[in-house]
Structure 1
Amino acid sequence: MRTTTVLVEGESDSVAVQALALRLGHDLAEEHVQIVPMGGATSIIHFLDRYGPKGAGHRLLGLCDAGESQGIARALIRAGVGSGPLEERGFQVCDADLEDELIRCLGTDAVLEVIEAQGELASFRLLQRQPSLRERPVTAQLQRFFGGRSGNKVRYAPLLIEALPAGQAPPPLARLVESFAG
């Protein structure tokens, strides 16, 4: 069976994809799916050279942020992975980033419940009072909370996936995991 390599920007994306895949009953080893965090979208050329048509010849899938999508599209063309919309080439695009997708999918109240369950609601409330964040929407404050402390994105990714109601996941993430079987 041909190996599928899923290229994601970072470790938190990798953890989230794995968590949703497991939750939906995927056995990644059995399905020959490996999720590879690239350490940032700008590293994609290296990974395409390694896993793509000119390298190991794996089936390639991916997840990226909208801000990185044009660079990803150019790199895929360069690597011989075709042209056209990224989604048609197996790469799903998050509007801002995966955390933004999870926050919108869950809603701020559910995200705050996850933070509270981790004993960090007081820390979040303190962050909200910072002058640079006071007037910002709660979603932007949550984004800052997850991205502002080392390890928070990785720590919270599986917790936010676990908090999703059954059958509900951010569309780019759901489409990506659904495509594992293809």
Structure 2
Amino acid sequence: MTRFREAVIDEASRGTPVSLSPLRSLARDAGVTTAILVEGVSDQAALETLAARRARDLEAEGVCIVPLGGATSIRRFLERLGPHGLDLRLLGLCDVGEERYFRRGLELAGVGRELGARDLEALGFFVCDADLEAELIRALGSDGVERVIEAEGDLRALRSLQRQPAQRARTREEQLHRFMGSIGGRKARYASALINAAEPGRIPRPLDRLLASLRTESGA
């Protein structure tokens, strides 16, 4: 599955696909039937953690989570994985600010026309408001997020950021959001940690519905 994911990302970095045979062969060997398209590795980490928490073996279900490296590149991935490529089942997750790229990419790939928010969800594409970090902060609350930060050994770093002049006028939620994105790799680490810490009934709706949609379709 990892080889397939890496090959898709590498192939999508090129121009118009010439031959999909290598990807098709890797997909067959890995048993891939479904691709979940997400903006970045923090979304991937959150979904993988939630699936593991719910005893879902996505790899065994033939599901590959593919980080796009940014929503603007979705069209290149759809060319490889969509109806005119490998024709995998497609689902996805994006931020509300990037929804237009997902919608337009799906329309150009022949997956629906004039798609609205409900249409996207019916297709298995869900939108975070405003992004994954904001969803997680709302789910746990500021106190809950700080407890996770303390457990991760980063409370001193958070306090240091909060004392910065540029941060003093910001809300606590805005400070926590900035903290998670201030160092490379921190978003993905906290996406996983916060999902693990969230109460069962407080999982962000886009993540919860995405996995539920996957289960409904696959019969898992």
2:181 counterpart residue number: 147
Residue 106 (str. 1) matches residue 140 (str. 2): yes
Q: What one-letter code is carried by the residue in structure 2 that aligns with 1:109?
A: D
1:27 counterpart residue number: 57
Separation of aligned partners in 2, 1:69 and 1:14: 17
SS of match in other structure, 2:170? coil
1:157 counterpart residue number: 191
1:131 counterpart residue number: 165
Q: What one-letter code is carried by the residue in structure 2 that aligns with 1:63?
A: L
TM-score of the superposed pair, with normalisation by structure 1 = 0.96
Residue 172 (str. 1) matches residue 206 (str. 2): yes
SS of match in other structure, 1:142? helix
Gaps of 5+ in 2: 1-30
Cα root mean square deviation, aligned: 1.2
Contact 2:94/2:128 (8 A) holds in 1: yes
Separation of aligned partners in 1, 2:110 and 2:71: 18
Contact 1:11/1:154 (8 A) holds in 2: yes
1:81 counterpart residue number: 111
Separation of aligned partners in 2, 1:137 and 1:105: 17
SS of match in other structure, 2:65? strand
Please point out which of 72, 75, 79 is paired with 1:49. Answer: 79
Separation of aligned partners in 1, 2:88 and 2:42: 23
Contact 2:78/2:109 (8 A) holds in 1: yes
User: Which range is displaced more, 105-114 or 76-85?
Assistant: 76-85
**Higher gyration radius (CA):** 2
SS of match in other structure, 2:56? coil
Q: Percent identity?
A: 54
Q: How many residues align?
A: 182
Deviation, structure 1 residue 41: 0.5
Deviation >6 Å, runs of 4+:
none
Gaps of 5+ in 1: none
TM-score of the superposed pair, with normalisation by structure 2 = 0.80
Determine which structure has the larger helix proportion and give its number.
Answer: 2
Deviation, structure 1 residue 2: 7.0
1:13 counterpart residue number: 43
SS of match in other structure, 1:60? strand
